[in-house]
Structure 1
Amino acid sequence: MNPKRIVPAVATSAFGLLLLAALALPYWLGREAEKNYHAILDQLSRGNWLLFTGKNYQRGWFSSTAETIVHQPDIPFEIVARHRISHGPFPWDRILEGDWRLVPVQARISSEVFVAEAQTGKPLAFPPLTADTTFQLNGDGVVHVEMPPVKQTTARNQTIDWRGLSGDLTFDREWKKFLLDVRMPALSITAPEQQANMGLSGLRLHSDMHEGVAGYFFGEGALTVDQIDFGGGAGHVVLRGLEISSSARPAADNVNMALRYKLDDILSAQGHLGPGELVIEVRQLDAASLVKFKNAIDTLSRAKLPPPQAALILAGKGLTLLGELSKKNPELEITRLSFKTPDGEISGKGKFVLNGRQRDIAHNPMQLLSALSGRFEMSFPEPVLKRMLTPTIRRDIETFRQSGALSPGDLAQLDPQAMAGIVDRVFPQYLARNEFTRLLVKDKDVYKLEVSFRQGQLLINGQPWHMPARVALSP
Structure 2
Amino acid sequence: MKKFIVLAVIVLLCVASWAGATYFVGANVQSRYTGLIDQYGHFGPFTLTTQSYDKGFLESRAQTVVEIRVPQSPSEDGQENAEDAVSFVFEHTFRHGPLPLGASGQQTGGPALALVETRLVSFSADEEDFEKLLAEIPALAEPFAFSKIALDGSVRSRVTIPAFENQSEGNLVRWGGFTLESQAGPDMKTLMGTFDMPKMELIMADGRLTWNGISGRFDLAETLPMLYVGTSQASFGVMDMSFIDKQSGQLKTMQMKGFEVASDSSVDGTLVRYEQTLEFGGVTVEGETFGPGVLEIEMNNLDGEALSSFQGQVQDLYRDSDSFNPEELVGRMLPLYLQLFQNLAAGNPELTIRKLHFATPQGDVDGRVRVKLDGNAGAAAGNPAALLQSLDAEADLSVAESLARSLAKDTIRQNLMGARERGDFPPYSDEEIANLVEQQVDGQIDGLLAQNFLVSDGANLKASATFSNGELVLNGTLLPLFQGQ
TM range (shorter): 0.7 to 0.9
Change in Cα spacing, 1:22 to 1:72, as seen in structure 2 (3 Å) is same
Aligned to 2:269: 252
Distance in 2 between the 1:84 and 1:294 partners? 32
Change in Cα spacing, 1:78 to 1:449, as seen in structure 2 (3 Å) is farther
1:41 correspondence with 2:37: yes
1:256-405 alignment to 2 at 5 Å? 256-304=273-321, 307=325, 310-342=329-361, 344-359=363-378, 361=380, 364=383, 367-388=386-407, 403=428
Change in Cα spacing, 1:7 to 1:206, as seen in structure 2 (3 Å) is same
Aligned to 1:212: 223
1:148 correspondence with 2:157: no
Aligned to 1:172: 185
Distance in 2 between the 1:292 and 1:225 partners? 32
Distance in 2 between the 1:20 and 1:305 partners? 48
Aligned to 2:124: 117
Deviation at 1:227, TM superposition (A): 0.7
Aligned to 1:133: 147
Distance in 2 between the 1:121 and 1:224 partners? 39
Aligned to 1:86: 95
TM-score, normalised by the number of residues in structure 2: 0.78
Q: What stretches of structure 2 of length at least 5 have no aligned partner?
A: 72-84, 244-249, 421-426
Deviation at 1:186, TM superposition (A): 0.9
Count, aligned residues: 443
- Give CA deviations for 1:380-437 in whole Å, capped at 9, x if unaligned: 122333454565798889x9xx956869xxxxxxxxxxx9x99999862464699xxx
Change in Cα spacing, 1:47 to 1:269, as seen in structure 2 (3 Å) is closer
Q: Tell me the secondary structure at the aligned position of residue 344 of structure 2.
A: helix
Deviation at 1:31, TM superposition (A): 1.5
Instruction: Report which of the two structures shows the higher radius of gyration computed on alpha carbons.
Output: 1
TM-score, normalised by the number of residues in structure 1: 0.79
Q: Which moved more, 1:11-20 or 1:163-172?
A: 11-20
Deviation at 1:45, TM superposition (A): 3.9
Letter in 2 for 1:297: V
Aligned to 1:228: 239
1:60 correspondence with 2:60: no
1:63–1:93 Cα contact (<8 Å) kept: no
1:62–1:92 Cα contact (<8 Å) kept: no
Distance in 1 between the 2:430 and 2:199 partners? 53
Distance in 1 between the 2:182 and 2:343 partners? 34
- Give CA deviations for 1:249-286 in whole Å, capped at 9, x if unaligned: 11221111112211123223233333210011111010
Q: Tell me the secondary structure at the aligned position of residue 106 of structure 1.
A: strand
Change in Cα spacing, 1:374 to 1:330, as seen in structure 2 (3 Å) is same
Change in Cα spacing, 1:35 to 1:71, as seen in structure 2 (3 Å) is same
Change in Cα spacing, 1:100 to 1:336, as seen in structure 2 (3 Å) is closer
Q: Which moved more, 1:307-316 or 1:457-466?
A: 457-466
1:162–1:186 Cα contact (<8 Å) kept: yes
Distance in 2 between the 1:465 and 1:125 partners? 64
Deviation at 1:212, TM superposition (A): 0.9
- Give CA deviations for 1:431-460 in whole Å, capped at 9, x if unaligned: 4699xxx96432343102345544446676
- Give CA deviations for 1:360-395 in whole Å, capped at 9, x if unaligned: 626646532332220222101223334545657988
Change in Cα spacing, 1:264 to 1:309, as seen in structure 2 (3 Å) is closer
Change in Cα spacing, 1:72 to 1:392, as seen in structure 2 (3 Å) is closer
Distance in 1 between the 2:455 and 2:102 partners? 76
Q: Which moved more, 1:199-208 or 1:169-178?
A: 199-208
Change in Cα spacing, 1:359 to 1:405, as seen in structure 2 (3 Å) is closer
Q: Tell me the secondary structure at the aligned position of residue 137 of structure 1.
A: coil
2:53–2:63 Cα contact (<8 Å) kept: yes
What RMSD over aligned residues (CA atoms) do the two structures have, in Å? 4.1
For residue 161 of structure 1, the aligned residue among 171, 174, 199 is 174
